[in-house]
Chain A
């Protein structure tokens, strides 16, 4: 049985494919995104307040390394699918970075199944957003190094945009507030940031369903390659994430979450960053794979698979 929030996503997809005029106001979409990021950060931060942060350093470094490594593994495979250099680099960056909403759906699924996970997992999300994007840009630069006309990367500006972009800022900000204020300090805002979380997630997924539905109609434009990428990358990367979680000695829930993060593809931070840093890449191709195919795959099929896998490999 699918988690109830996933039905909202499917409703959005169906509405879009049926040509409904349903549309969430832009301002609401923004508000929901801000809420989700802050709420996820806060939840992780409250857990951080209960343990020494230094002890988590190996986990943090391992997560960042995984995010950075994913594009380098994917890039040659994407080139084999006959993707052009910049396109392959851009798609690889999307998969190296992570999807916060996929993570949120996975935590909801774990909670419903009664499987415990490391409550500071939001920290992993916060540190896994940027490394994949940096790796993707490096790959694009390496692929274009013979191209004399290739634009130089403004790394300073890019770092500013990615690290102070709303997703990392709000996640990290929520983590910090939660860590400083602790369980007691955040109790007064629990009614807003904790209890309604799942309802808000459902509403956000309805909107994402509408957006993903629009991308689905684009699949035809790119042919089989985008379908292969969108469906094959998540299980492959999910295995890598689960393996890393196992090495780190995480709980079953933690392994499932790390697998989910590895398998997920960014559709907020990465598209904007790659659009500026690698303009010659086809933005629609990456978005169609990440949001049109991989995101629905992960929330409907992938997450239950990663959870089952995690339960098998953890004691």
Chain B
């Protein structure tokens, strides 16, 4: 039954301008993130609509599954460093994973 055991982890989702992808991934790795997925999205926020029609208008959604403390560290850093000048959205969710050592 060990393979079906569920382990609690935190999912951190960051929606940000695509220009930030490299730096966000670098910062997250430095704070203990082991893996991530990126998807291109489009949408709108208080700062306006981002349609993603060409390079400078693209938006990404970055997902990290990690320990709660790591997710907190990443989120605090992102808010402190980028939120002032970039359109950034963040949220957390509790998730359960099968192989905890991977996150």
Q: Do A and B come from one complex?
A: yes
| Interface, chain A (partner B; CB < 8 A) | 23, 26, 29, 157, 207, 210-211, 214, 267-268, 271-272, 275-276, 279-280, 283-284, 287
Q: Which of B3-11, B52-60, B69-77 contacts A (4 or more CB under 8 A)?
A: B52-60
Given A279-B86, A284-B48, verify A271-B55 contact (CB < 8 Å): yes
Given A272-B19, A276-B19, A276-B23, verify A283-B51 contact (CB < 8 Å): no
Cβ B52 vs Cβ A283 within 8 A: no
Q: Is B17 an interface residue (CB 8 A)?
A: yes
Residues of chain A with a CB closer than 8 A to B57's CB: 211
Closest residue of chain B to A29, judged by CB? B54
Give the A-B contact count at a CB cut-off of 8 A: 39
Given A29-B54, A267-B56, A283-B56, verify A275-B19 contact (CB < 8 Å): yes
Residues of chain B with a CB closer than 8 A to A276's CB: 19-20, 23
Please report the C-alpha to C-alpha distance between residue A276 and residue B54 in the assembled complex, in whole angstroms. Answer: 17
Please report the C-alpha to C-alpha distance between residue A81 and residue B17 in the assembled complex, in whole angstroms. Answer: 28
Closest residue of chain A to B53, judged by CB? A211
Q: Is B85 an interface residue (CB 8 A)?
A: yes
Of residues 36 to 75 in B, which have CB atoms within 8 Å of A's CB atoms? 40, 48, 51-57
- Of A23, A26, A157, A275, the residue contacting B17 (CB under 8 A) is A275
CB of A313 to closest CB in B, whole Å: 35
Residues of chain B with a CB closer than 8 A to A280's CB: 85
Q: Would you mind naming 29 contact pairs between A and B with Cβ atoms under 8 Å apart?
A: A26-B40, A26-B53, A29-B54, A157-B22, A207-B53, A207-B54, A210-B53, A211-B53, A211-B57, A214-B51, A267-B54, A267-B56, A268-B54, A268-B55, A271-B55, A271-B56, A272-B19, A272-B56, A275-B56, A276-B19, A276-B20, A276-B23, A279-B82, A279-B84, A279-B85, A279-B86, A280-B85, A283-B56, A284-B48
Please report the C-alpha to C-alpha distance between residue A267 and residue B56 in the assembled complex, in whole angstroms. Answer: 8
Please report the C-alpha to C-alpha distance between residue A283 and residue B51 in the assembled complex, in whole angstroms. Answer: 15
Please report the C-alpha to C-alpha distance between residue A279 and residue B48 in the assembled complex, in whole angstroms. Answer: 17
Closest residue of chain B to A23, judged by CB? B53
Known: A268-B56, A275-B17, A284-B48. 13 other contacts (CB 8 A): A23-B53, A26-B52, A26-B53, A29-B54, A210-B53, A211-B53, A211-B54, A214-B51, A272-B19, A276-B19, A276-B23, A280-B85, A283-B56
